[in-house]
Amino acid sequence: MNKNPTIVQPIEANVAPMQTISGGHIILLAVLVVAALFPWFSDSPSHQNVAILVMMAAQMGVAWNIVGGYAGQVSLGHVAFYGLGAYTSTLLFTQFGVNPWIAMLLGGVFAAAISLVIGWSCFRLKGHYFTMATIAVAEIVQIVFTNWEFAGAAVGITIPMDQEGWGAFVFASKVPYYYIALGLLLLTLLANFIIEKSYLGYYFRAIKDEPDAARSLGVSLSKYKQIAFAVSSFFTALGGSFYAQKELYIDPASVLGTAVSIKMALVSILGGIGTLFGPVIGAGVLTIIDEGTRVMFGGSGRGTDLIIYATLIVVIAVYYPTGVMGWIKNLSARRALKSQNAKGV
Amino acid sequence: MSLEIFLQTLASGVLIGLIYALVAIGLTMIFGVMDIINFSHGEFLMFGMYSSFWLYALYALDPIFTLPLTTLFLFGFGVMVYKLVISKIVTAPMVSQLFTTFGLMLLFRGIAQFFWKPDFRTVDQSIVSGSVQIAGFQIGLPQVTAGVGAILITAGVYLFLTKTKAGAALEATAADKDAARLMGIDSQKMFALAWGIGAACAGIAGALLSTFFPIFPEVGANFILIAFVVVNLGGFGSIVGALIAGVLVGVIEVVGGFLLGPQYKLAIVLVLFLAVLMFRPQGLMGKA
């Protein structure tokens, strides 16, 4: 849809298109191989931890992007689903002894079900109103959990680590968490890929770009917004459950705080909103900036890291609103134009 | 709840609601004129508080007397933020506008933390300290001063918008940018003015709060969500709506908190907010 025929077509057919397609595939394959072998390259737990953080942020961003990027419904309350996932799986395990893997899945289903209830009311609102409503919903969820004794209230819940291993979803080493995070990210990307290629992707983009035209063609806007919201919530909740199992501790601030919602959206915007790999790139950039500034400037306790982080957000939002992916697209379009000119077309 | 306690609670709800209204008026004005939601609005309030605090701590000047100075600082600051940052994203998509002002929010908090550390500070010896007896109720004098101040400023902004030429130009820009431009109104200037007034309103609210509310870098977080609710409830861009909704939210919050426990104050407001949005998405005074 986004391909610009005037740029692609004039390039000699036998070389260029093949090259761009296989070039992308090669990069993708290389990234996958590097990702799969990463724990062999680096056995430093802190490096592995940063890699896990990148993948967690990427997974959240990819999940958010389904409704926020493709369907254009900017939810800034997605942390509600992240927290619901984390709390559902943790409570099912600690209170009822449900296996964490099954509990994680149930958390995802529960969050998707709740998203239908929230979406039913919030999707009647447009633009800013929708965004504000999602913030309000998330805030209410946070207040409820902060005061709910059964869910540990403000103190939170600790997951016991008396059992260890794949069955218990508790590990002493970072490596299993690394592979689970990678698997979760790939799964979420796959879901996004399938949506992008299916009729759903077209409907989502129509809702975003031409809502009135889509409605006049008989597309039920609310139905497809709901689908986008539910799928997005499901994967967001899986991310929340994974966080709980990795940290073995959750509280309202960490899994229901506004900062988490913002991070999901930010990762997508940094990388390129409404693109498949944008959030992955955004997660890499953001996590490195975040961790880097914290390590370099965080020790002073004077908020220097926050200043740098915030300045970057502003600069990127003002000057690169299409994110890294938009920048790359721009660059390759320019290069194609140049080679076109060189050939005298 | 006895009638006396109820009335006292009601009164304190109205007083805090007037402050909410003042904060929200700045926000709704910026939105009304240029369709941008300013996430960093609470930080304008925070800077207003620090301005009052430092004039008090360094020069022993009372926040009430330095109000004009704080207003001026914040007006200038708002215009500067517009010129340096916001003017570049006037026509940008909603997402990048959201993230620009969100980034500014974090940046201003970071700056405050850098210069003044995360400590809580207070202005403890203002001329408006103590409490007054009004019709048998005991009400804090700082709260009364703040409430009265908020009414005066709100009235001032309203008169400015309805009675002056610049105000009319601002309203015209809010109603239709292009038509206003054809009539010779410089929309860039109007946007800058909206940011100046918006920041000044938040700053004044901060100055009024500084006599009875702790001052710290993240204090804006306590007001921004409420301000959004007030703006939504009142109808985006409506000054009168913001005033009514502000008082309404203040009263609901205080009375609801009294009945259900203070930890649910915000939740009650948010639930009501969502309920109103469902039936009247354009807010109380907004146009459909």
Q: Which amino acid is at A42?
A: S
**Interchain CB distance below 8 Å, A74 and B98:** yes
The separation between CA A44 and the C-alpha centre of its own chain, rounded to angstroms, equals 26
Give the mean pLDDT of A64-80: 91
Pick A147's closest partner by Cβ from B95, B263, B278.
Answer: B263
Domain ranges of chain B: 3-279
Q: How far apart are CA A234 and CA A63, in angstroms?
A: 8
Residue B218 phi, psi (nearest 5): -100, 15
Confidence of residue A299 (pLDDT cuts 50, 70, 90): low
- The pLDDT value given to residue B93: 83
The average confidence (pLDDT) of chain A is 86
pLDDT beyond 70 at A282: yes
Chain B contact probe: residue of A67, A74, A143, A149 with most B CBs at under 10 A: A143
Instruction: Categorize the per-residue pLDDT at A123 as very low, low, confident or very high, splitting at 50, 70 and 90.
Output: confident
A18 confidence band (pLDDT: 50, 70, 90)? very low
Check whether A2 has a pLDDT greater than 50: no
What value does the mean pLDDT take over residues B19-27?
95
List the single residue in B88, B97, B270 with the smallest CB-CB distance to A140.
B270
User: pLDDT at position B287, please?
Assistant: 62
Q: So what's the architecture of B3-279 in CATH? A: Orthogonal Bundle (1.10)
CA distance A122 to B286: 18
Contacts of A302 in chain B (CB under 8 A): 113-114, 117
Contacts of A137 in chain B (CB under 8 A): 274
Could you say which of A76, A146, A306 has the minimum Cβ distance to residue B113?
A: A306
Residue of chain A nearest B84, judged by CA positions: A318
For position B219, what pLDDT does the model report? 93
* Tens-digit pLDDT profile for residues A212-249: 888 888 888 888 999 999 999 999 999 999 999 999 99
- State how far the Cα of B26 lies from the Cα of B82, in Å rounded to an integer: 14
Q: How many CA atoms lie within 13 A of A228 on its CB side?
A: 33
When comparing pLDDT for A157 and A270, which is higher? A157
Distances (CA, A) of A171 to A157, A168, A237, B117: 18, 8, 21, 39
Is the CB of residue B224 less than 8 Å from the CB of residue B41?
yes
Task: Judge whether B270 and B229 are in contact, CB under 8 Å.
Answer: yes
Paired with A250 in beta bridges are A157
Task: Compute CA distances A95 → A112, B18, B143, whole Å.
Answer: 22, 46, 47
User: CB of A72 within 8 A of CB of A198?
Assistant: no
Best A306, A315, A322, A325 member to test B by mutation, with max B CBs in 10 Å, is A306
* Per-residue tokens: B155: 């009235």
Q: Over the stretch A172-198, which tens digit does the pLDDT of each residue have?
A: 888 999 999 999 999 999 999 999 999
The answer to whether the CB atoms of A321 and B267 lie below 8 A apart is no
Total residue length of chain A = 345
Chain B residues with beta carbon closer than 8 angstroms to that of A265: 95, 99
Q: Which two tokens stand for residue B160?
A: 């400015």
pLDDT at A324: 83
pLDDT of residue A307: 87
Phi-psi region of A248 (alpha: psi -120 to 50; beta: other; left: phi over 0): left
> Is the CB of A318 less than 8 angstroms away from the CB of B37?
no
Beta carbons of B228 and A132 less than 8 Å apart: yes
Which residue among A146, A269, A301 sits closest to B95, beta carbon to beta carbon? A269
Q: Tell me the DSSP string of chain B.
A: --HHHHHHHHHHHHHHHHHHHHHHHHHHHHHHHH----TTHHHHHHHHHHHHHHHHHHH---TTTTHHHHHHHHHHHHHHHHHHTGGGGTTS-HHHHHHHHHHHHHHHHHHHHHHH-S--B-----TT-SEEEETTEEEEHHHHHHHHHHHHHHHHHHHHHHHSHHHHHHHHHHH-HHHHHHTT--HHHHHHHHHHHHHHHHHHHHHHHTTTS-B-TTTTHHHHHHHHHHHHHH-TT-HHHHHHHHHHHHHHHHHHHHHH-GGGHHHHHHHHHHHHHHH-TT-SSS--
Q: Does residue B217 belong to the interface with chain A, where contact is any CB pair within 8 Å?
A: yes
| Chain A environment of B277 (Cβ under 8 Å) | 125, 129, 132-133
The count of other CB atoms within 10 Å of the CB of residue A49 is 15
**How sure is the predictor about A3, in pLDDT bands with cuts at 50, 70 and 90?**
very low
User: CB neighbours of A339 closer than 8 A, spacing ≥ 6?
Assistant: A11
